Chains A and B, each alone.
Chain A
Amino acid sequence: MLIELKDVCYTYGDGTVYEVKALDHINLGISEGEFIGLIGHTGSGKSTLIQHLDGLIKPTSGEVLFEGKNIWSEGYDLRSLRTHVGLVFQYPENQLFETDVITDVMFGPKNEGLTPAECEARAAAALRQVGIPEELYKVSPFDLSGGQKRRVAVAGVLAMDPEVLILDEPTAGLDPAGRDELLNQIRHLRDKRGITVVLVSHSMEDVALYANRLIVMDEAKIAFDGPPRKVFARYRELEKMGLAAPEITYIMHALRSRGLRVDTGAITVEEAKRSILMALSNRNSMKDGPL
């Protein structure tokens, strides 16, 4: 088990009038190579949860283990943890500060103590991964468009070569092409280098397409945890939490109720297409058959 949360609780403003219980007895294990989708309505505690994985928030009670060691034990090197676990915040473009793009991306590797040449190589590689062309390397990050800023900020974390990559709604505000490109790139990194990914998203379509495990948060607790197909099969309960299944799943249910024998568990357009075509060809062959 790579990361483990044991009975983690977190309360904002503990001991004041404005207490907010953001995490309530969370137990969770994350293994190497998983692609986890984390969903939940706003305020359910997703951002709070992922900040625990990177040691940015200390749990009010409970333990956070990384590779079996409690990260809040005496003498634990939190800074080295953060080079293993990369966290891309919500609206990461707000953290850009350097005079040009490449120097900004080099900030992380520099903090790891790498040589300038290594930093630059890492930064260039990360910028290539997120699709920022070389002409922009020397431009001020403040002169970029919103989507470009977002990519540069993501590159800033990728440049640290993390083994675990956590992204908090990285695609909010990106155009559809930019969104697909970014998520495909992340999936590619996972397939190629075996990194572990945690993706927080409000798009059921995105998590259905990319994640192989889905965690659903509701009111500071984990409501469901399992493979996307299984979780989305309980879409009635998800709806009560302000969530839903992917649109395509609803179409499949509608087709089924009209008598087409399709797989209602399909959650991606690709799966659905295959299932519908199959059902249609079965029906046709039945029609053409000996009647």
Chain B
Amino acid sequence: MGEITLGQYYPTNSILHRLDPRVKFLGTLVYVVSLFLVRGPFGYAFCGAVLLVLIFLSKVPFLYVLRSLKPILFIMIITMAFNVFLTPGTILWRWGFLKITEEGIRMAVKMGIRLVFLVTGSSIMTLTTTPNSLTDGMESLFGFLRIFHVPVHEIAMMMSIALRFIPILTEETDKIRKAQIARGADFETGGFIKRMRAMIPLLVPLFVSAFRRANDLAMAMEARCYHGGSGRTRMKPLRYERRDVVAYAAMAAFLAICIVFSVTGL
């Protein structure tokens, strides 16, 4: 359970799930860049079609993928509204200081499509990759920064520990909250000050347990002779398979096509 409850990882055994996390990370990057390259309707249609194919390949239910759009819906509407009303250009309709321009509508639609594709595209990565394997991939991708004395391994280790701890602490919070409610605690009613005070019985045990866990973990790591990055080998080293090479080739082809769309403006 634990690890996977975080984020939106959706377990199926699709080809996308089995891809190397580095491929998926770079692929997402390429996709995002392409979204800003293409300009014309055909370009967007092409990006959309690719997205649909990816969703199909991931075997994640379509509606489940669309759920990732929920949190940005509000931002999207605001951005589109700003674009519709505030872009100067040929006026189609005006009412007082509000005016709608042709350019505005075009801009708003473009922004909307870009945002939807961007969020959906990157959530395909998070839906098909566990947070831990994602950090592994990043560690390997940014490994070159070690030359500049960036502690890449340590940062990645901290990230995966933090990721690992989030579900544990959420569960712990839930348990403590219930235990205090059973003792008559009231977290729901009252003014701001009263509610803040009501949090004390929750926060104190939570912090105590977080520190205890961190301490235990540090001790356990030390007991197993953990000493940071240099000279450490992996149990499951990331290794490119055939499918990863194929994916890189597909990615290059996709980028090339998008550049063509960008140059021609189609």
Q: Which residues of A contact B (CB under 8 A)?
A: 17-18, 51, 54, 56, 79, 82-83, 86-87, 89, 92, 94-97, 107-108, 110-112, 142, 156-157, 160
- Residue pair B179, A92 in contact (C-beta under 8 Å): yes
- B201 partner, pick from A51, A87, A107, A157, beta carbons under 8 A: A107
Q: Name 7 extra pairs, CB < 8 A, besides A86-B182, A157-B182.
A: A18-B4, A56-B182, A89-B182, A94-B179, A94-B209, A95-B180, A160-B184
- Residue pair B182, A82 in contact (C-beta under 8 Å): yes
Contacts of A17 in B (CB 8 A): 10-11
- Inter-chain CA distance A82–B209, complex, in Å, is 25
Contacts of A86 in B (CB 8 A): 182
- Residue pair A142, B11 in contact (C-beta under 8 Å): no
Q: Which residues of B contact A (CB under 8 A)?
A: 1, 4-5, 10-11, 172, 175-176, 178-186, 200-201, 204-205, 208-209
Minimum Cβ distance to chain A for residue B130 (Å):
13
- Inter-chain CA distance A51–B179, complex, in Å, is 10
- Inter-chain CA distance A111–B201, complex, in Å, is 12
Q: A18-B4, A18-B5, A89-B175 are in contact. Are A97 and B205 (CB under 8 A)?
A: yes
Q: Which residue of B lies closest to A91 (CB)?
A: B175
Minimum Cβ distance to chain A for residue B182 (Å):
4
Minimum Cβ distance to chain A for residue B192 (Å):
19
Supply 11 A–B pairs (Cβ within 8 Å), ascending by A.
A83-B184, A87-B179, A89-B175, A89-B179, A94-B208, A95-B205, A107-B184, A107-B201, A111-B183, A156-B183, A160-B183
Q: A97-B200, A111-B186 are in contact. Are A82 and B1 (CB under 8 A)?
A: no
- Inter-chain CA distance A92–B5, complex, in Å, is 25
Q: Which residue of A lies closest to B189 (CB)?
A: A79
- Inter-chain CA distance A157–B178, complex, in Å, is 13
Q: Which residue of A lies closest to B203 (CB)?
A: A97
Q: A17-B10, A17-B11, A95-B176 are in contact. Are A142 and B184 (CB under 8 A)?
A: no
- Residue pair A79, B186 in contact (C-beta under 8 Å): yes
- Inter-chain CA distance A160–B176, complex, in Å, is 18
Contacts of A87 in B (CB 8 A): 179, 182
Q: 9 nearest interchain CB pairs? A: A111-B184, A97-B204, A95-B179, A108-B183, A87-B182, A89-B179, A56-B178, A97-B201, A97-B205
Q: A18-B4, A56-B178, A94-B175 are in contact. Are A157 and B204 (CB under 8 A)?
A: no
Q: A97-B200, A97-B201 are in contact. Are A89 and B184 (CB under 8 A)?
A: no
Minimum Cβ distance to chain B for residue A197 (Å):
16
- Inter-chain CA distance A231–B13, complex, in Å, is 44
Contacts of B186 in A (CB 8 A): 79, 111
